[in-house]
Chains A and B, each alone.
Chain A
Amino acid sequence: MGDRHAPKPAFIENPLQVVEYCRYCLMCRHVCPVGHVTHNETLTPHGWALMIASAQRNLLEWNPEAVDALYKCADCGLCRTHCATDQPLPTGIAGARAAVVEEGLAPESVMALKEALERWANPFQRATPESPIKTGEDAILVGDAAYFRTPQTLDAAMQLLAATGVEPIQLARGRNLGLLPSSLGLSELAAELASQTIEEIKSTGCRRLFLLTPGDIYTVTRLYPERLNLGLPDHLEVIDLAAYLERSQENGLLRFEKIRGEGPYAYHDPEHGARIKRNHSAPRKLLRSLFEAAREVSFFWREDRAHPTGVVGGLNWVQPDLARDLTEARLQEAIDAGARFLFTEDPLALEALRAQADGRIEVSGLYETMAAHLE
């Protein structure tokens, strides 16, 4: 389902205000992935909120240790997803980071990313290609990770869409969509990158926008209006590619040769999938349609409580040790569940999981696997 008719989230004008509610609340502790791997009270939603509230009361100075702790939140959104009163704490933490950046106290790694994003519009320090001057009904947001790191994901997505009769215009090729700088407190830069993407969408006149990952869906449908006060064109239907492909497969538009692999397989719910209203069964149904007999095993941290790998919130650049621990936790979870094959569709997660798997488990892209078995 697209979410064209979903109400537009409101702009959060004072993100720091939210910490006044969260600073003494512990009710989302159980889902925080960072708290789960660090076991440290400080590195939990309550810890971050209390830090920020304490800094406002001059009880804590933003010294390097405190700033380091502030930059350990993954901005994965699980705390908010599980909050009965929908407190937007991740936005509050991003707001506190913006204040830290403003005061010139941000970690060097954040400032290096800022420089790269300002110069290249992506953290990979690669030149972005010219935007296409095209109009059409359908478009797909490419972004930086799929374009530079796993182009095979994009190729596979295009191939699968073509098989359903859709040939979308590729937008934002090589450009970060704005989530990374927003997470790091680089709000102006996030707004600039987001504005460029919105302008590009408008210029095509497209009515359907396909998105490769839940992270991209979160960015354009929630982050833009809530954190950046920006919105997509009203007529635009935002489409989760996995959900669309699953419907196409149900309708007989997509057919696959069955995989005769014998080993059990697992699916890693992509980053940010828990913070949008996602059809979690869609990618699972697609995998079931691919395998002839292999057994599906489940993660404990799945669907609306899915823990991310370390590629969220810029952790892979700013907190590489923590990022490694998070990615390792996902791999270990799959291995402990007995999986021999692991699938996901987020390009950066795919890359991180593959890099750390070290032969213990075979990591594959969902779209790549599907495209390779198209009938």
Chain B
Amino acid sequence: MIVSSLQREMIFSELEDVVGADHVSTRQVDQLIYSTDWSWMPQMWLDRGLIPARADFIVHPGSVEEISELLKIANAYRLPIVPWGGGSGTQGGAIPTYGGIIIDLKRLNKILEVNEESLYVCAQAGINGTQLEWALNEKNLTLPHYPASANCATLGGYLAPRGSGTISTKYGKAEDLVMSMQVVLPDGRIIRTPGVPNHASGPDFMRIFLGSEGTFGIISEATMLIVPLPETRLFRAVLFKSIGDGIEAGRRMMVDRLEPLVIRMYDPSSTASLVKKVLGYELEGAYMIIGFDGWEEIAAAQEKRAMLICEALGAKDLGREPGERWWNHRYDFYYPPLGLHLPQMYGTIETVTTFSKLEDLYWAKKKAIESHFGEIGIRYIGHFSHWFPWGASLYDRFILEETPEDPKEALHLHNRIWTVAVRTSLENEGMINEHHGVGLKLSRYMRAQYGPAWHLLASIKEALDPNGIMNPGKVGFGVQSNG
């Protein structure tokens, strides 16, 4: 914690020595812009004329060695460190809650190797997702991780919160695509995980950094699996009368290992609102997109089997155009004014569970949210995406049009809604999150999520970051790690 202006200037000089004067800022305007990420809380705070949190310094290192030196300085002064990629997190993971140093990784944006034989790309963690993708596309390759945040997120930001993309159902989450990483530990040591992800040479310590959201170290480089751009991508839309039938159809596609690229089913509320607003279709029921990719004849055969499943469960085939339209406009849902935006209050309270509990979880959350907050006009919508052979993600949201003007009152209400949502997820054996991460928003639920196992994570934190400098207040860890 900085206690005097003299000390502040002394620290500034040390930071400047590491990265150069052009790459360290204490400007008011930079502090303002770096005070918020894509989450509702700081945006609402700013909207009501309050600054959520200010970093003391915003630093742009140009090499992994510079990151290492910055962490040593931070340890010496017990200064909080907040790693920053694209600022596209929705859980407040990049908010400098306790001030300190924001380390913006965007200067580390180089592609270091594209290996077309073993099909991987090695790049620095600060590279922008879409820029990386475009560069791979020039070689007819793709990193099959297509999150809605690709235009703004960075490679490090894909991995730190264990993100999912639109086509994760076939290719896996970001964590399934990573082969190896370079990480700067809190004490400044630079380590590399093994060059291959699958081996039997002891525990897989790479995994502890995935989902740690900068609390265990800073991911500075990653090697990711890539694939050739497919010969074809086939999309169709179908309409189910009930979400139960849709879940069963998705389950059969997954357990039959049809390898769908996408299964996305909007619940009737989303179909009537979002699908109508963005895609222009007026439909009653649960709108499902099904996609397959790869070799034309194989994708066509997979699609044929999937359609038989849907037909057997009473789905109406809407044809190819509504599926392709969704694919071509899949990110439009996030552009203003189509996406959720202030003055609305909203939260993506998504979760994941097994097939046997998925529908019950949906109804329980819908009932909990609507019964607790129905009187104030809350809306609950959701879709099912990111399917696994054992279950799927329920990507659900609450939306409130009228919100309290007082920011504290608004924040407290937001937290109350989240608490109801998270408790209901836990009671129904859902996880508190599937792919947006924990950040600040879900930090307080981590002990409830893990129970006695929380001690294991807390012990790792204590061992790696005894001074508690790394992204304090996030992922369940406090300012000083205290288990």
Contacts and interface: CB of A to CB of B under 8 A. Distances in A.
Chain B binds chain A: yes
Interface of A: 21-22, 24-30, 39-42, 46-47, 50-51, 53-54, 57-60, 63, 65-66, 69, 82-85, 87, 300, 305
10 contacts: A21-B337, A30-B128, A30-B150, A40-B60, A40-B106, A41-B33, A57-B46, A65-B27, A84-B335, A305-B134
B113 to A, nearest CB: 16
Given A21-B337, A42-B29, 11 more contacts: A21-B341, A39-B106, A40-B60, A41-B30, A50-B36, A57-B47, A59-B46, A66-B28, A84-B332, A84-B338, A87-B336
Contacts of A46: 33, 152
A59 B341 CA distance: 20
B130 interface: yes
B471 interface: no
A39 B33 contact: no
B49 interface: yes
Contact of A51 (B33, B47, B106, B337): B33
A54 B32 CA distance: 9
Contact of B28 (A28, A60, A300): A60
Interface stretch (B83-91, B187-195, B205-213, B374-382): B83-91
B335 A30 contact: no
Nearest to A298: B138
Contact of A59 (B43, B49, B152): B49
B334 interface: yes
A274 to B, nearest CB: 14
A63 B149 CA distance: 32
Contacts of B49: 57-59
B416 interface: no
B335 A25 contact: yes
Contacts of B109: 39
Given A26-B152, A28-B151, A69 B29 contact: yes
A29 B32 contact: no
Interface string B35-50: 0101000010011011
Contacts of A41: 30, 33-34, 84, 87, 104, 106
Contact of A24 (B28, B32, B43, B150): B43
A50 B27 contact: no
Contacts of A82: 151
B445 interface: no
Contacts, number: 112
A24 B341 contact: yes
A350 to B, nearest CB: 26
Contact of A39 (B28, B60, B334): B60
A113 to B, nearest CB: 23
A140 to B, nearest CB: 36
A28 B36 CA distance: 17
Interface in B410-465: none
B107 interface: yes
In this complex, which of A39, A53, A63, A85 has the most chain B Cβ atoms within 10 angstroms of its Cβ?
A39
Interface string B317-342: 00000000000010110111111011
A42 B138 contact: no
A30 B151 contact: yes
Interface in B242-256: none
Contacts of A54: 32, 46
Interface in B82-125: 84, 86-88, 104, 106-107, 109
A27 B46 contact: no
A83 B335 CA distance: 8
Contacts of B329: 84
A78 to B, nearest CB: 12
